[in-house]
Structure formats: C-alpha cells, structure tokens
C-alpha cells in the first residue's frame, strides 16, 4: 500500500514538473497546430501591451507549457475515437465521416449588404470597361454547396442567398464565372473537387484546376491569346495527409497534388505597395514561355482558394500573373490597375467570404471611381504652373508613391507621366503609385489634372 502511495506521489509531481521542465522559452516560436506565433513573455516588449499583465501571463503559460502539442494531439485522438468529434474550432464532422469547415451558412437574407456588394462589382466592371480591360467575377463554392448531402444533419443548410446574388449579378450584366455550377457538373461526372476531410475550408487541386479553367475560358472570349491549361503540363500525383491543417487531428487521407512543370519567375521589389495589413499577400510571376506566345497579363484579386491551390494554374496560363490578396484590397482597384496596367482583371471570391469582415459595407457604399483621363475634354482646361513643393515622392523598390498635397477638394484628380494615373483622397491631398522606372525617366514631364464642378485645371 505504501508503495502505491509513493508511486502516486511521484506520478503527481511528474505531471507537474515535466511540462514545466520542458517549458518553451524560445522567442518568436511558432505553433504548427495553431498556425500562429506563440505568446511572448509578458516582460518582453514584443508582447501585446494592449492586454493586462495578468492576461499576457496566462496566455504565455498556456502557449509555452511543455508537451502542449502532444497533449492537444492526445485530446484530439480521444475525441475522434471515443466521441466522434473534431476537437478544433475550425472543423466539424458531417455525414459519412466528411469534415466541414466551421460556420456553414444558413443565411437566407438578401438585403442591404448583398445589394451593396452587387453595386460594387458593377462599379468595378464599369471602371475596367471604360479602360478596355476585360473583367470577370469568379465565384467559388463552399464545400457544403457541392456536398450538401454530407452536411451535418443538425444544420438546416440553404443556398438561397447565393442563388439570389448570382441571379442578380447576371441580370445586371456582370461577367460572372459561376464555379458553383461548374464544380457541381465536374463532381457529378465522378471527379472529387473537395477532399473528404483534409482542408475542409477549400477546394482541392482538382477543384482548382476546373475552376480556374472555367475562368480562363470566359476570359478567352475577350482575349483569344489566353492559354488554356492541359493536365499534361503538370506533374499530377497524390499525397497522404496525416493531419488536418493547423491541427494535429489525425485523418490519413490521400489527396490530389499538381505541380507546374515549366519554370516560373517571381518578380521582387514591391515591398512599398499599399496593401491591407491583415490581407497582405502579394506575388508577381512571369512566365517567359507564355510571354513568347503573346499571352496576356492578369491582375487577380484573390482569396485563400487561389493563394493555396489555384495560383499555379494561372501561373501556367498568363505571361504575367499579378496576385493581390483580395477582400478589402479589391475595393482599392484603381490603385493596382493604374500601377500594373493589366490586360485583364479577375475578382475571385469564395461564397462564404461575402461578408463585412472581408468586404467592408461602408467602403463598398462609398465607392466612387474616376473616369479615365482620356475621356475628359481638356481643350477648355485652365493651365496653371505646377508647384513642385506640393508633390511628395516616396520611392520603394519598383513602386513610387506620389502625393499631390492640397487642402482643396476636387471631384477627380489625375497625374500623368508616360501614362495616366487616378489619384484618390489622402490625409494631405490626393495619392497614387507609379512604376519607379516611369517616374525616374528624365524625358517624361509630370502634370496634374483636377476636376471640380465641371472645371478642368491642368498643372504642369
């Protein structure tokens, strides 16, 4: 009996001592399970100073305690096999062992937000059409839309809201690439476009191939030189995924994998780009093979469907593929269109991201884009000398930010170098970005054009 008590006492102290002995003190540590940086010491200047000291201390201990990931794994395994539950806030079990992302929509309302979203897309398309740039809206489905029969029986799933939105967009003449219908067709033909369990919040590589191909076919109606992808241009294989992303929940699922065969070059030097702090992914790729074939350049506002899976298919099709993390950045479209002068623009959106946290209602309702300067009659414009002290220039790699400082309010402002650029309101006046090489060309003279109450003024 005494031996049992001693063993119990040793075990008790071991349970406390071992995790403390293995405490993670490493600065900047990252958790594979959570896909985030772990909390820093409450005494460190890099800790979140907006939180109380007691909260910072608790988060630090919770994140850094020894054997944390092993304990989470054990908890996940017990929940899976004992209770048939996914012990993770981002996932839930559906029928037949399918796993879905948390937050499956049951919303049927089609109201102010959806109308504002539709208006915003109409404004974006009109902006591009005025500049003779093809524009398409690529709508990608949630897993629950393609596999509604696998949704948990506790959820009264409906697709009514998206059906109304797509119908409205098409009725308004917006160029919609409906990947909902396309992937339903592909799935009905026998190809799985989402994995059964792995990465439940996104399509798989099959879905990405067919979804991007559907978009390319739509663009090809306006740009015949676009290259349509062939599966033979990729190394197509399978991979075994042992865990769900950002977790240690065991699955052991074989999933499709595609890799581009041809070499694609990434262009650097765009650190000075104006971009949302939260949605800040940006990449610029050049495909020399497609460039030699005369394929067009594309600017794509995209979310995680494309960031994770779809990008390689656009890399293989366009001569230049400029990808901007969409969401709030897409509402700043003139900035990117002016800077990169693309041959086409793609607005990609996953249906479940059509909400205020991704596309701000207030920003959408306040959208107002300049007409192209080429459409403005300058024959009766008032000439003025440009005060160069009113121009602020900040160079950062390939991007030069130009600000026209003024307290006066105008309806529209443009600045011209070799090309014309729309300027948008800033704290000190009006601002835009131009390619550094164009700004630095000594043979190009800068001019600013303003419009107010019909009066045009040219500063040069």
pLDDT in tens, the chain (460 residues): 566 666 566 655 556 665 666 667 777 676 655 555 677 777 776 666 667 767 777 777 777 776 666 566 555 556 555 555 665 667 888 999 999 986 566 666 789 999 999 999 999 999 999 999 999 999 999 999 999 999 988 787 888 899 999 999 999 999 999 999 999 999 999 999 999 999 999 999 999 999 999 999 999 999 999 999 999 999 999 999 998 887 777 899 999 999 999 999 999 999 999 999 889 999 999 999 999 999 999 999 999 999 999 999 999 999 999 999 999 999 999 999 999 999 999 999 999 899 998 999 999 999 999 999 999 999 999 999 999 999 999 999 999 999 999 999 999 999 999 999 999 999 999 999 999 988 888 777 899 999 999 899 999 9
Residue-level pLDDT at 113: 95
Beta-bridge partners for 250: 243
Cα dihedral sign, 315-319-322-326: negative
Residue-level pLDDT at 421: 96
Residue-level pLDDT at 443: 75
DSSP 176-189: EEEHHHHHHHHHHT
Q: What is the pTM of this model?
A: 0.84
Closest CA to 401 of 427, 377, 376, 431: 431
Cβ(171)–Cβ(117) below 8 Å: no
Residue-level pLDDT at 96: 94
- What domains are defined for the chain? 108-365 (no CATH), 373-459 (2.60.40)
E strands present in 135-260:
135-140, 176-178, 234-243, 250-260
* CA triple 406-407-411, angle to 5 deg: 85
Burial 385-395 (b: 16+ CB within 10 A, else e): ebeeeebeeee
Residue-level pLDDT at 13: 59
Antiparallel, parallel or unpaired: β 455-459 and 382-384: parallel
- Rounded to whole angstroms, the Cα distance separating 133 from 124 reads 11
Residue-level pLDDT at 26: 77
Question: What DSSP character marks residue 107?
Answer: -
Closest CA to 135 of 406, 365, 368, 343: 343
Q: Report how far apart, in Å, the C-alpha atoms of 438 and of each of 324, 343, 401, 421, 422 are.
A: 22, 19, 12, 12, 15
Beta-bridge partners for 282: 324
């Amino acid at each position: 009996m005494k031996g049992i008590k001693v063993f119990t006492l040793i075990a008790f102290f071991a349970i406390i001592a071992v995790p403390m002995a293995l405490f993670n003190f490493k600065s900047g540590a990252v958790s594979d399970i959570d896909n985030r940086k772990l909390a820093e010491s409450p005494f460190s200047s890099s800790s979140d100073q907006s939180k109380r000291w007691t909260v910072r201390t608790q988060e630090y201990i919770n994140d850094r305690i020894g054997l944390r990931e092993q304990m989470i794994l054990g908890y996940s395994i017990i929940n899976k096999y004992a209770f048939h539950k996914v012990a993770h806030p981002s996932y839930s079990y559906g029928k037949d062992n399918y796993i879905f992302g948390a937050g499956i929509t049951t919303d049927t309302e089609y109201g102010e937000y959806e109308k504002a979203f539709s208006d915003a897309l109409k404004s974006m398309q009109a902006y591009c059409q005025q500049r003779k740039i093809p524009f398409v809206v690529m709508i990608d489905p949630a897993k629950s839309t393609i596999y509604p029969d696998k949704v948990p029986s506790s959820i009264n799933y409906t697709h009514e809201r998206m059906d109304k939105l797509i119908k409205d967009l098409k009725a308004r003449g917006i160029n919609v690439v409906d990947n909902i219908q396309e992937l339903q067709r592909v799935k009905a033909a026998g190809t799985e476009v989402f994995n059964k369990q792995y990465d439940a919040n996104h399509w798989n590589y099959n879905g990405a191939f067919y979804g991007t191909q559907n978009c390319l076919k739509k663009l090809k109606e306006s740009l015949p030189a676009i290259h349509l992808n062939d599966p033979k241009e990729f190394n197509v294989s399978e991979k075994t995924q042992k865990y769900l992303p950002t977790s240690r929940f065991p699955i052991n699922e074989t999933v499709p994998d595609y890799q581009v065969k041809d070499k694609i070059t990434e262009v650097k030097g765009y650190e000075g780009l104006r971009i949302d702090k939260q949605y800040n992914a940006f990449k610029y790729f050049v495909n020399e093979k497609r460039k030699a074939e005369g394929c067009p350049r594309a600017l794509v506002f995209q979310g995680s469907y494309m960031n994770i899976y779809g990008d390689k298919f656009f890399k293989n099709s366009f001569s230049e593929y400029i990808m901007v993390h969409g969401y709030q950045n897409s509402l700043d479209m003139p900035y990117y269109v002016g800077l990169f002068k693309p041959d086409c623009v793609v607005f990609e959106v996953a249906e479940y991201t059509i909400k205020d946290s991704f596309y701000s209602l207030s920003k959408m309702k306040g959208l107002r884009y300049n007409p192209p300067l080429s459409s403005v009659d300058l024959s009766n414009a008032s000439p003025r000398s440009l005060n160069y002290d009113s121009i602020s220039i900040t160079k950062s790699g390939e991007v030069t930010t130009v600000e026209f400082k003024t307290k006066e309010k105008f309806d529209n402002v443009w600045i011209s170098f070799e090309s014309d650029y729309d300027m948008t309101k800033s704290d000190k006046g009006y601002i835009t970005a131009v390619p550094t090489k164009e700004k630095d060309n000594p043979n190009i003279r800068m001019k600013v054009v303003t419009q107010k109450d019909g009066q045009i003024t040219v500063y040069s």
